[in-house]
Amino acid sequence: MKVLVVAGTGTGVGKTVVTAAIAAITRAAGRRVAVVKAAQTGVAPGEPADLAVVGRLSGVDDLHELARYPEPLAPETAARHAGTGSPGMGEIAAHVTALVGRDLVLIEGAGGLLVRFDEAGTTIADVAQVLGAAVLIVAGAGLGTLNVTALTAEAVRTRGLRCAGVVIGSWPDDPDITARANVTDLPVYARAPLVGALQEDSGRLWRQAFLRRARDGLAPSLGGSFNASRFAHKTARLRVEVSP
């Protein structure tokens, strides 16, 4: 069983859609895939959350949410406000390990890589370390993404984890000069390859259209056909065309 942690550089960068894209491609290839959300915050009981989005977009129904809290806070903080316990290292690792028979288990983080899950300070990076999982970094496209991506990648390296690359989680339809420049700069800052860029409206597509978008937007290492060099060339050409 292969385990991949999908970690964002922060909130709102497209982790859930990237997770769904990998799940969709894996399912379409006839491989067994499970998706784990160790802690979901900011969602009331019974309300659709990240795993519902993954299921709708990918068709995968092997979905596992270990804890949910109503306040939109870091998991450990949200659990404290809710007056309940939170899943720690042992519970998360045991749940993933029990998913025998799957070809791939995707673990979607909550917020950034070093957000605390319990009072012991467990992070999704610690979970990756225990499980021997690679970490895929999902980054934003715009201003400010270079520093947080570099910091996230450095945290991955210092823990001896393998970085599976960087995916731009929401590529704008009309990218500005910052986003276009970041296509070249992100892999340099991360010291890891750019392995995808998903269009910003991908989460609104129907399942088959989403699968096509996923294949176009993710690299062969993730089951798709995305070519970083071609994408960088295309955005550089766009830069020339829009220049005065």
Tokens coding 225: 């056909």
* Bridge partners, residue 138, by sequence: 8, 167
Q: How far apart, in whole angstroms, are the C-alpha atoms of residue 57 and residue 229?
A: 27
Q: How far apart, in whole angstroms, are the C-alpha atoms of residue 149 and residue 155?
A: 10
Q: How far apart, in whole angstroms, are the C-alpha atoms of residue 203 and residue 183?
A: 21
Q: How far apart, in whole angstroms, are the C-alpha atoms of residue 116 and residue 124?
A: 8
In contact, 168 and 198? CB cutoff 8 Å? yes
Residues annotated as catalytic (active site), given as ranges: 37
Amino acid making up residue 171? W
Buried b (16+ CB within 10 A) or exposed e, 156-195: beeeebebbbbbbbbbeeebeeebbebbeebbebbebebb
DSSP H or E segment with residue 92? helix 89-97
Q: Provide the strand spans (E) within 16-143.
A: 33-37, 40-41, 63-65, 68-69, 104-112, 134-139
Q: Provide the strand spans (E) within 26-112.
A: 33-37, 40-41, 63-65, 68-69, 104-112
